[in-house]
């Protein structure tokens, strides 16, 4: 018998989904817009109804606090983001915010008084869908906002973050005040939808995240020579497209060989001049590689580099450049909290599996401030960032139940 209430969870999801600038197609809620303010008002009123002290911080993070017997003890924090991508779904972000709301309600009904304070949070601009640089709320809490990004980053209409903040009722000059002090937050827990097919395929209720993967993204340019597709023998070409194809294939084979959740993707490739009957004199492609350990990522990238070097040696006139565009270290989850989550899940009859998070989340940033842990709930057909994104409410409830039990245990222990 679960303590959390599936009808309330469904109502939260359906209510927040209404605050969208596009009707009828999933949910589109960009940070600091009218819809975002409507969602904020809903979250604030639900937090107040659950007896929380609610405030909005300098960048618009909604914080509902349940005071502890020891108000100065490190906070147990849980939550997620409430912005969405363009024509996204109803669950990516809100699921974790609602996990906080429902946890607060149940604790409130029980008259629970925690030892340490609990903060339930709802964060802005995780997706970066409006201003192009995501994880904004968690970065603000961790003191990782980049100089000038509030003044310079703009949306499609040329509105800067600072202007949008003003329109939303915030003072952008105070943004730095959102930063939390070291030691102030003891734990950050986040529930999120899986955004992949594993839980559904293995018929497991929830995932306990082991680590958020490390990743590197490279821009790769290969330079060669255009020649006639009919009259140039194969061994006399400087074919950039072929070199790229070999490199991608070699990297893919290496990722398969390494395992440990290592994935490598070439999702973008452009050739010049881009004609079917001309050898491509230039090929640009991007490689996105992720794994549990950064050494695995580096091993894949080394194989890709070797492959390109080999092509350059074998084909005079062929050269290449590689530029790292993104680099992020893996963020391990706190083993003790994973163990608590697994115990609590087992006690509630909820099945679990350890898994990697292949996507970044606010918890990834929060890991720089305090120990973190994440719960994944199943995504129907593994789909996300699309209107079809779906998690059955009973499945979501199971994940929320584990968040509720874990928060209660962590905040209840002296």
Q: How far apart are CB 211 and Zn ion at their closest, in Å?
A: 17
CA dihedral of 229, 230, 234, 240, whole degrees rounded to 10: 0
Between 189 and 304, name the residue whose CB sits nearer to Zn ion.
Answer: 189
Burial class (CB in 10 A: 0-12, 13-18, 19+), 120: buried
CB 185 within 8 A of CB 367: no
Q: How far apart are CB 358 and Zn ion at their closest, in Å?
A: 13
Specify the DSSP class assigned to residue 84: -
Q: Per-residue x/- mask for Zn ion, residues 200 to 219, rule CB under 5 A?
A: --------------------
Between 93 and 261, name the residue whose CB sits nearer to Zn ion.
Answer: 93
Q: How far apart are CB 93 and Zn ion at their closest, in Å?
A: 5
For residue 218, CA distances in Å to 221, 280, 284, 294, 312 come to: 10, 20, 11, 14, 18
Between 93 and 117, name the residue whose CB sits nearer to Zn ion.
Answer: 93
360 forms part of the interface with Zn ion (CB under 5 A): no
Residue 110's contacts (CB-CB under 8 Å, 6 or more residues apart) are none
DSSP annotation string for 99-117:
HHHHHHHHHHHHT---SS-
Between 46 and 92, name the residue whose CB sits nearer to Zn ion.
Answer: 92
Q: How far apart are CA 307 and CA 251, in angstroms?
A: 9
Q: Which two tokens stand for residue 194?
A: 């899986």
Q: How many residues contact Zn ion, by CB under 5 A? A: 2
State the residue for tokens 């209404």. 18
Of residues 323 through 352, those in contact with Zn ion by CB under 5 A are: none
| Positive/negative CA dihedral, 188, 194, 198, 202 | positive
Q: How far apart are CA 35 and CA 39, in angstroms?
A: 6
Q: How far apart are CB 84 and Zn ion at their closest, in Å?
A: 8
Closest CB to Zn ion: residue number: 92
Q: How far apart are CB 407 and Zn ion at their closest, in Å?
A: 20
Between 26 and 93, name the residue whose CB sits nearer to Zn ion.
Answer: 93
Between 68 and 96, name the residue whose CB sits nearer to Zn ion.
Answer: 96
Q: How far apart are CB 375 and Zn ion at their closest, in Å?
A: 13
Q: How far apart are CB 102 and Zn ion at their closest, in Å?
A: 18
Q: How far apart are CB 126 and Zn ion at their closest, in Å?
A: 6
Between 126 and 155, name the residue whose CB sits nearer to Zn ion.
Answer: 126
Of residues 84 through 113, those in contact with Zn ion by CB under 5 A are: 92-93
Between 79 and 93, name the residue whose CB sits nearer to Zn ion.
Answer: 93
Sheet of 214-223: strands edge to edge?
A: 263-272, 282-291, 214-223, 319-328
Residues that bind Zn ion (CB under 5 A): 92-93
């Amino acid at each position: 018998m679960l303590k959390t209430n599936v009808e309330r969870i469904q109502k939260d999801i359906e209510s927040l989904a209404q605050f969208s600038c596009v009707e009828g197609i999933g949910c589109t809620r960009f940070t600091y817009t009218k819809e975002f303010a409507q969602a904020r008002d809903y979250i604030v009123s639900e937090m107040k109804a659950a007896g929380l002290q609610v405030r909005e911080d300098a960048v618009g993070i909604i914080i509902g606090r349940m005071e502890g017997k020891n108000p100065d003890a490190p906070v147990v924090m849980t939550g997620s983001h409430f912005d969405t991508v363009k024509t996204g779904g109803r669950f990516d972000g809100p699921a974790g915010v609602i996990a906080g709301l429902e946890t607060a309600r149940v604790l409130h009904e029980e008259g629970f008084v925690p030892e340490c304070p609990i903060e339930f949070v709802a964060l802005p601009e995780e997706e970066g869908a409006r201003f192009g640089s995501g994880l904004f709320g968690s970065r603000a809490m961790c003191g990782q906002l980049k100089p000038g990004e509030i003044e310079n980053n703009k949306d499609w209409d040329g509105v800067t973050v600072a202007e949008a903040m003003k329109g939303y009722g915030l003072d952008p000059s105070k943004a730095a005040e959102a930063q939390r002090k070291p030691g102030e937050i003891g734990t950050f827990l986040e529930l999120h939808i899986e955004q992949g097919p594993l839980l559904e395929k293995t018929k497991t209720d929830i995932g306990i995240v082991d680590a958020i993967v490390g990743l590197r993204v490279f821009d790769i340019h290969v330079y060669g020579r255009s020649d006639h597709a009919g009259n140039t023998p194969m061994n006399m070409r400087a074919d950039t497209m072929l070199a790229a194809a070999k490199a991608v294939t070699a990297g893919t084979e290496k990722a398969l060989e390494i395992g440990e959740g290592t994935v490598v993707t070439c999702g973008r490739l452009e050739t010049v001049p881009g004609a079917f009957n001309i050898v491509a004199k230039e090929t640009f492609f991007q490689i996105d590689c992720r794994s549990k350990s950064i050494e695995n990522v580096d091993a894949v990238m080394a194989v890709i580099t070797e492959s390109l070097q080999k092509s350059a040696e074998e084909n005079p006139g062929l050269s290449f450049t590689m530029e790292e565009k993104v680099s992020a270290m893996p963020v391990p989850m706190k083993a003790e909290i994973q163990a608590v989550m697994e115990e609590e899940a087992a006690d509630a009859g909820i099945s679990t599996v350890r898994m990697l998070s292949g996507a970044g989340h606010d918890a990834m940033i929060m890991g720089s401030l305090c120990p973190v842990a994440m719960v994944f709930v199943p995504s129907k057909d593994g789909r996300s960032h699309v209107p079809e994104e779906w998690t059955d409410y009973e499945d979501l409830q199971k994940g929320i139940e584990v968040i509720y039990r874990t928060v209660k245990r962590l905040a209840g222990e002296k």
